[in-house]
Structure 1
Amino acid sequence: MSEKIYFNTSHKFSVKKSLVSLTTRLHHTIAPKHAKKTARKLLLTPARTKPKNAEPVGLIKSEVQCQEGILKTYQLGTGPVWILTHGWSGSASQFYPLMEHIASRGYTALAYDHPGHGQSGGVYGHIPAFVHGLEAILDSVDQVAGLVGHSMGTASAIECHHQKLVDKPMLLIAPVLDYLDNLFGSVARSGYSMRLFKAVVSEVEDQYRYPIQSIDPYNKLKIRRAQTIIVHDQGDKFTKYSESKRAAEEMDQVKLVTTHGQGHGRVMKCPEVMASFDELIA
């Protein structure tokens, strides 16, 4: 259900949206505790999607423990390690074609399922959980050559302050650089009670001591000095191409590669992504 909320881009009036608004506001008024419990399950539970691509030959599966539970990892190739971090309701399997390309270039591709995603443990998904998961993966390897992120995985990667990422290049695919506007705008468009949504957000903030207003991928990308290439489809319906374009115009270390007709998901295995990785390792 959360997919339908976060990936809702329609600004049109609908009876369903009005009913969602009415019922969620009424629920929060009549039974606030139960409403927050229900909302947490609805808003923070990602869809566990089936694998998107066939497993590459030689894929090594393992596990890494983090505070959210067991994270399933998928490794291919040998050599310096590139970390691959997927987005909301995604999985590591979306990266299999790119992992094969990375391995063919003499590197190790290490992808993983975020907490609450794919085959990993955990129930809920949000930026604090994504960041903690990424930190656990980074702690599990000796050195990192770079990072590839997609969608919400890009936001958590930029948010992560782990020392192993400080001076490392990044390949950001369909990034969410305007995370707060994207998040609150999507929930508002769904008709869901914003008051109830903010109550759930407040609980997560308190639990993780992670103020949501501190999440600012765009401006944190601006202060990174390492090379970054963004691959973004101009027609992406879920993350704003305009923000990627602005970043490339304003930030000397950021380059934008524009695709057409690849959307938000297919872009992950398009030729432009493969070529951009080659450019980063050249």
Structure 2
Amino acid sequence: MSEKIYFNTSQKFSVKKSLVNLTTRLHHTLAPKHAEKTARKLLLTPARPEPKNSEPAGLVKAEVESKEGTLQTYSLGSGPVWVLAHGWSGSASQFYPLMEHIASRGFTALAYDHPGHGKSGGVYGHIPAFVNGLEAILDSVDEVAGLVAHSMGTASSIECHHQKLVDKPFLLIAPVLDYLDNLFGSVARSGYSMKLFNAVVSEIEEQYRYPIQSVDPYNKLKLRTAATIIVHDEGDKFAKFDVSERAAGEMENVTLIATKGQGHGRVMKCTEVMDSFDALIN
């Protein structure tokens, strides 16, 4: 259900949206604790779809322990490590084509399933959990050559302050640089009670001591000095292309590669992504 909320782009009035708003507000009024428990399950539980890409030959699976539970990792190739972080309701398998490309260039591609995603442990997914998971992955390797991230994985990667990422190049695919606007806008469009949503957010803030208003990928990207290439489709319905365009215009170290007809997901294995990786290593 959370996928239908976060990936809903319709601005039109609908009876269903009105009913969602009415029932969630009423639920929160009559039984606030039960409503918040239900909301956590609905809003923070990502989908775990079956992999759409075949496993590449030589793929090595392992596990890394994190604060959020056991994370499933997938590595391919040898040499300096590039870490790959997928987005909401995604999995490492989305990166298999890119991992093969990275391995062919003499690097190790290390992807993993975020907490609550794919084959990793955990139930809930959110920015603090994503950041904790990435930090555990970075702690598990000696050195990192660079990072690739997609969608919500881009926001959590920019949020991560791990020392191993400080001066490393980033390849950001369909990034969500306006994370807060994107998140709150998606929930509002679904008709879900914003008061109930804010209650869930407050609980996460308190649990992790991580104020949601501090999540600001756009302005934190400005502070990075290493090269960043953004690959973003002009027709992306879920992450705003014009925000990436503005970032490339304002930030000296950020380059935008625009695609057409690739959408939010297919763009992960398009030619422009492969070429952008080559540009970063060269």
Which residue in the other structure is 1:94 paired with? 94
TM-score, reference length from structure 2? 1.00
One-letter amino acid matched to 1:280? L
**DSSP-derived class of the 1:93 partner:** helix
Tell me how far 1:272 sits from its aligned partner.
0.1
Alignment partner, residue 30 of structure 1: 30
Please give the alpha-carbon distance, in whole angstroms, between the structure 2 residues aligned to 1:52 and 1:151.
17
**C-alpha distance in 1, partners of 2:2/2:239?**
16
The residue type paired with residue 249 of structure 1 is G
Whether 2:241 is the aligned partner of 1:241: answer yes
Q: How far, CA to CA, are the matches of 1:135 and 1:254 in structure 2?
A: 23
CA distance in 1, matches of 2:49, 2:74: 16
- C-alpha distance in 2, partners of 1:186/1:192? 9
Unaligned segments of structure 1, at least 5 residues: none
Report the equivalent of 1:175: 175
For 1:188 and 1:31, the matched residues in 2 are separated by 21
Secondary structure, counterpart of 2:226 in structure 1: coil
| Aligned-pair identity (%) | 82
Aligned residue for 1:148, secondary structure, equals strand
**Other-structure match for 2:258:** 258
Rounded Cα–Cα distance in structure 2 between residues aligned with 1:67 and 1:152:
19
Q: Distance in 2 between matches of 1:267 and 1:11?
A: 24
CA RMSD of aligned residues (A): 0.2
Q: CA deviation at 1:49?
A: 1.1
Task: Give TM-score, length-normalised by structure 1.
Answer: 1.00
Rounded to whole Å, the distance in 1 between the matches of 2:236 and 2:267 is 9
* Per-residue deviation, residues 211-264 of structure 1 (Å, max 9, x unmatched): 000000000000100000000000000000000000000000000000000000
State the SS of the aligned residue for 2:109. Answer: strand
Residue equivalent to 1:146? 146
Kindly indicate whether residue 134 of structure 2 is the aligned counterpart of residue 158 of structure 1: no
Matched, 1:195 2:205: no
Partner residue in 2 for 1:67: 67
AA of the residue aligned to 1:255 = T
Q: Distance in 2 between matches of 1:251 and 1:136?
A: 29
Work out the CA distance in 2 between the residues paired with 1:133 and 1:169: 20
Distance 1:24 1:44 in 2: 16
| 1:121 and 2:121 aligned | yes
Instruction: In structure 2, give the amino acid aligned to 1:27.
Output: H
Deviation (angstroms), 1:199: 0.2
Q: In structure 2, how many angstroms separate the alpha carbons of the residues matched to 1:277 and 1:67? A: 31
Matched to 1:269, the amino acid is: K
Q: Deviations over 1:189-228 (max 9, x none)?
A: 0000000000000000000000000000000000100000
1:202-213 counterparts in 2 under 5 A? 202-213=202-213
Q: Distance in 2 between matches of 1:49 and 1:86?
A: 13
Query: How big is the shift at 1:265?
Result: 0.2
In the alignment, which residue of structure 2 is the partner of 1:132?
A: 132
Deviations 1:159-212 (A, max 9, x none): 000000000000000000000000000000000000000000000000000000
For these two proteins, the number of residue pairs brought into alignment is 282
